[in-house]
Structure 1
Amino acid sequence: MSMHVLVLPGGGYAEHAPHEAEPIVDWLSGIGVQASVFRYPLNARHPQPCPAPYPGGHRRPNDHGDAMTETHASRTSPTPG
């Protein structure tokens, strides 16, 4: 049974990374594995805008400190006394 590998190059949403496509196929061919590049669709738009995780698009509820870490610490720290 022969093996064939599909190479799906990364690169984000705008383009395929060229160094993750044909060079990988060439390397696999060099070790006796048949391979080809699968160029999947890019720039696909979501049908509706995705909401920001917090109001105003902030990454965490409080821009002055890391509220997520503070919350986690308060749940995991031992209670004094």
Structure 2
Amino acid sequence: MNEHESRWLRIQMICDEYGVSDSLVRNLIHDGRLPAVKFGSARSSPILVRRSDIESMLVPVQPSSTSADRRAAIAARLDKLGHKQAG
């Protein structure tokens, strides 16, 4: 894939690459949260979105302290079970 091919994405390409639904992408465009252009004036003209605009929407997910606490509690229980079985 060259630079020109990867700069613009069609809606279906976004869905396939990022695992999101067509309706989500269309709603983001309709609400003005995702900039897009239409290539041509025909109804069937493709809607294109810059890859950089998609990537700017990506936000890292941080585990909540609750999730970390739960994982630690489960690990502690499993550790105790391991000691009980060995002893």
TM-score after normalising by structure 2: 0.24
Please state which structure has a larger fraction of its residues in helix.
2
TM-score after normalising by structure 1: 0.25
